[in-house]
Structure 1
Amino acid sequence: MSPNSQTALTRADRALTTPRPLVALSAEYAPATRIPAHRHHKHQLLYAVRGVMTVTAEAGRWVVPPQFAVWVPAGMTHTVLAHGALSMRTLWVAPDVSRRLPRLCGVHLVTPLMRELVLRAMELPRLYNEKGADGRLVAVLLDELAALSPAPLHLPWPRDPRAQRVARALQRRPANARTLAEWARSVGGGERTLARLFARETGLSFGAWRRRMRLLHAVERLGAGVSVTAVSLDCGYESASAFIGAFRRELGVSPARFAASGWGDRRPRQADEGGVRPLAASSA
């Protein structure tokens, strides 16, 4: 683990013991920094001010571009990987502070209001006055957290070993163009059986799952500074224009604009499925 990661975890331990409903921390990570599997007794909002990160848990993977944040429920074991230099802002939220907070892990667009609230929360003293202006700011921030809406930046993970073999192979090589029937023969199952497994265990058809996987892989690679043309080939698109069209349809912005500055004030299409329930004892 890098020195930055160790320092961040030490500060996180302090935040976890602070007797306040919400505590804010900032951290900077070098490219390719990996925070190993861990979990907390508080909820966590990880906000990517700059850079792209991937949060991985037993049930899936969440890719977090600039100006987005991922909500990690208390008790969910997860890892964090930085793609390129990462500037992160973290909120730690006591699990009993509100019943309206999200119950599922998910990636969310950070609105201009929430961004300013988060940045202001970074300036609060550790033991701020809960009855004064600081406490009122925290109350507004908690209201904003309760109103979060998920973006389509989650890749749910199948549980069946046959479907998992297919998923792992596609993650290793996103450009793989095998048909569902070819995959079924490869893993020793029928085409209909494999289709049912993906639909039942991920909430997505096999084709939709593969498109989502390629999209998230593209976001990660763009965040690491790879060119649009190289990413389109890496993801299996026949041309850069086909990749640009698919990226824009899903996320409402071109890959070039994303690579330059993130989404800004553009709002992507909301996800049909927001995430997974917190896991009491899972491994990443």
Structure 2
Amino acid sequence: MNEEQQTFIQGVDHASQNAVIVKVTGREGIDLTPHSHNRVQLVEAVAGTLRVTVGNHEYFVPEGYACWIPAGMKHALTSHNRRIALRIFYFMCHGDIDTAESFSVHYVCPWAEANFRFIADYGPSISADTDGLYNFCLSFFHTFRKEERRLVLPLRGINADTPPTLRKAMAYIHTHLADDIMLEDAAGAADISPRSLSRLFSDADTTFSDFLRYQRIIRSLELMADNSMTIKEVAYNTGFSTPSNFNRSFKLVMGMAPSEMRRRQRA
């Protein structure tokens, strides 16, 4: 974390409690070491994709989604995309407003995106005496969290609680996503039997096939966000045998077809 980033974080923590702090940023606003704020942080991924580490868990925020980070929650932000654009809002929860103490990722519909853009245009700080805009911001933020469809998409990546042998197998999978990976291949990389590896995945509440499919979808979202490949090229570069298999798996995880995601990105 550089000096400018540290100064901004300190400014957020020392700002008036009755203010919404707005930051529109790109690459310079991420790759932050673990830190926390004394207020809620709402991060919208306008372009590119975001990875958020909370404790021992890593979460993925696709383009067109936003994450809710509770006050005081230590987190780190990073991205694997060449282009990244974020709108970040910091605010306090007051009175009987639900403080929402859990991290969550939400879909940003066109209505929500318009409101995020509208609020960001009034930044970098919106105080309580700004003609009712402050109360509008708080009302919108909490309505967004409650009403927008949640994306239950933990990255299930390598973390400190994962047994070393499973971490080794996961690392192998991650670096060979474009290949025709079999359970036996990952087990060999981890120096254990396929049966033992299957049991380790089961202990981690997933399966080899689900983990592999999930990681391929995550990588496909990052490639699509860079907008340098066709959907067919993305499919083959993430290890799917055919575009139709990619389309089916993508829709299963994301709830929409890759073509619909691409239309949203271009819009």
TM above 0.5, yes or no, is yes
Q: Which residue of 1 aligns with 2:187?
A: 184
Q: How much does 1:144 deviate?
A: 1.9
The answer as to 2:81 corresponding to 1:83 is: yes
The answer as to 2:15 corresponding to 1:18 is: yes
CA RMSD, aligned part only? 3.3
Aligned residue for 2:84, secondary structure, equals strand
Cα 1:82–1:197, aligned 2, differ >3 Å: closer, same or farther?
closer
Alpha-carbon contact 1:170-1:176 (below 8 Å) kept? no
The answer as to 2:107 corresponding to 1:109 is: yes
Alpha-carbon contact 2:51-2:58 (below 8 Å) kept? yes
- One-letter code aligned to 2:12: A
Q: Which residue of 2 aligns with 1:133?
A: 132
C-alpha distance in structure 1 between counterparts of 2:123 and 2:29, whole Å: 27
C-alpha distance in structure 1 between counterparts of 2:219 and 2:55, whole Å: 18
Candidates 203, 217, 220, aligned match of 1:218: 220
- One-letter code aligned to 2:33: A
Alpha-carbon contact 1:51-1:65 (below 8 Å) kept? yes
- One-letter code aligned to 1:191: P
C-alpha distance in structure 2 between counterparts of 1:193 and 1:82, whole Å: 32
C-alpha distance in structure 1 between counterparts of 2:237 and 2:124, whole Å: 46
C-alpha distance in structure 2 between counterparts of 1:40 and 1:125, whole Å: 19
Q: Which residue of 2 aligns with 1:157?
A: 157
Cα 1:210–1:100, aligned 2, differ >3 Å: closer, same or farther?
farther
Note the residue ranges of structure 1 that are not aligned, 5 or more in a row: 265-284
Q: Give the structure-1-normalised TM-score.
A: 0.75
Q: Between Structure 1 and Structure 2, how many residues are aligned? A: 259
Cα 1:224–1:121, aligned 2, differ >3 Å: closer, same or farther?
same
Q: How much does 1:35 deviate?
A: 1.6
Aligned residue for 2:79, secondary structure, equals strand
Note the residue ranges of structure 2 that are not aligned, 5 or more in a row: none
C-alpha distance in structure 2 between counterparts of 1:191 and 1:22, whole Å: 55
Q: Percent identity?
A: 17
Q: How much does 1:190 deviate?
A: 4.1
Q: Which string of whole-angstrom CA distances, capped at 9 and with x for unpartnered residues, describes residues 33-86 of structure 1?
A: 852323113332210123333334553433323321122343323132261332
Alpha-carbon contact 1:60-1:156 (below 8 Å) kept? yes
C-alpha distance in structure 2 between counterparts of 1:39 and 1:97, whole Å: 26
Q: How much does 1:101 deviate?
A: 3.9
- One-letter code aligned to 2:262: A
Q: Which residue of 2 aligns with 1:229?
A: 232
C-alpha distance in structure 2 between counterparts of 1:224 and 1:251, whole Å: 18
- One-letter code aligned to 1:168: A
Q: How much does 1:194 deviate?
A: 2.5
C-alpha distance in structure 2 between counterparts of 1:98 and 1:191, whole Å: 52
C-alpha distance in structure 1 between counterparts of 2:9 and 2:116, whole Å: 16
Q: Which residue of 2 aligns with 1:35?
A: 31
Cα 1:216–1:126, aligned 2, differ >3 Å: closer, same or farther?
same
Q: Give the structure-2-normalised TM-score.
A: 0.79
- One-letter code aligned to 1:109: Y
Query: Whose RCO is larger (CA < 8 A, sep 6+)?
Result: 1
Alpha-carbon contact 1:55-1:61 (below 8 Å) kept? yes
Cα 1:181–1:58, aligned 2, differ >3 Å: closer, same or farther?
farther
Alpha-carbon contact 1:124-1:134 (below 8 Å) kept? no
Aligned residue for 1:66, secondary structure, equals coil
Q: How much does 1:231 deviate?
A: 1.8
The answer as to 2:202 corresponding to 1:205 is: no
C-alpha distance in structure 1 between counterparts of 2:51 and 2:261, whole Å: 16
Cα 1:143–1:105, aligned 2, differ >3 Å: closer, same or farther?
closer
C-alpha distance in structure 2 between counterparts of 1:124 and 1:53, whole Å: 22
Cα 1:43–1:241, aligned 2, differ >3 Å: closer, same or farther?
same
Cα 1:221–1:60, aligned 2, differ >3 Å: closer, same or farther?
farther
Alpha-carbon contact 2:126-2:134 (below 8 Å) kept? no
Q: How much does 1:127 deviate?
A: 5.8
